[in-house]
Amino acid sequence: MPSLSEAFRAHPVHLHHSHLDFGSAKEVPDTHAWPPLDEHLSGDKFDVESVPVIDLGDPNVVTHIGHACETWGVFHITNHGISKQLLSDVESQGRHLFSLPTQQKLKAARQPDGVAGYGLVRISSFFSKLMWSEGFTIVGSPLEHARQLWPCDYIQFCNVMEEYEKEMKKLSGRLMLLILESLGLKKEDVEWAGPAAKFEDTCAAIQLNWYPACPDPTRAMGLAEHTDSPLITILHQSSTSGLQVFRERGHRWITVPPLSGSLVVNVGDLLHILSNARFHSVLHRAVVNRTRQRLSVAYLWGPPAHIEISPSPQLVTPDRPRLYRAVSLSEYLSIKAKHFNNALPFIRRNPLV
């Protein structure tokens, strides 16, 4: 069976550049200078129009989730069952990691044909300018890279990240069942959900992103605009704002402020396909702050790498014909490695490829 690792090995990303010492930078160098952003887009001023906040204990949660997926593609969740202590521990470990000296972090550098480890995000290859951020990706056990970072003190990092992955996996399955119900589908309609619809066999990654304070946030980009490939992404963000989603209505960027105790859920490309474009994969980015650092922890969750996802037959009608061909996560990652934000249109335009 094809795997995520094979998909990334087929499309290595070579980024040849020295790592900028963000802490000592007094100005944004040309290598990191993007077209100017409006000042209000890089600060802590929030929009009047706000992303929905959904209490998972609400009796009408299914209706609320369906409406949010259909109109926004993103929403906050509360009453999600992830303890504040675990979120605090994950954030603490992330800060500990990114505070290490650059040469120490590079001992766990991501390989060009790999997915796990330290380094710039893979989408960097699609842009001429570099981003004002660092990243660390965990797929499966973090043990190998943790040992490279802390040869004698890696246990706590591994324990926290493994506990976080376990809890996020359960939450993702819970959310998926609610999302399916909001589409009028049953758990039996998703064969790969497994016995009792526990979604035991899935693909997931933890992505830690660090956004240092920036001397000129209007000329830097923390993370360039993109959509996420899997079904859903669950994001924990620190108390500094930076996440923005693109709102088709009004054709503008909306800030998604951090809300204490809440998590942010994004609709991904595969859910866009499964819903036959009823739920929209949300375009999002991260901007940076002049005085404050920011940490985010994204949990990207999808089906087994080899399982093909296609528009559910119940969502295909004469008025809304099937819009996408079947595609596995592994194949889709290969397509996205070549076509990036045009991957969904490519799947739609090339039904027989």
The residue type found at 255 is T
Q: At what angle do helices 84-98 and 155-182 cross, to 10 degrees?
A: 130
The Cβ of residue 268 has, within 10 Å, a number of other Cβ atoms equal to 24
Catalytic residue among 294, 322, 325, 349: 294
Q: Among this protein's residues, is 95 annotated catalytic? A: no
Torsion of CA 255, 256, 257, 263, to 10 degrees: -170
Q: How far apart are CA 331 and CA 60, in angstroms?
A: 36
229: tokens are 């490939």
97: tokens are 């990691």
Q: How far apart are CA 73 and CA 71, in angstroms?
A: 6
Contact 202, 172 (CB under 8 A): yes
Buried b (16+ CB within 10 A) or exposed e, 133-160: bbbbbbbeebeebbbbbbeeebeebbeb
70: tokens are 């259909």
Q: Looking at the chain, how many residues does it have?
A: 353
The one-character DSSP state at 177 is H
Residue of 259, 2, 299, 353 whose CA lies nearest to 165: 299
Catalytic residue ranges: 294
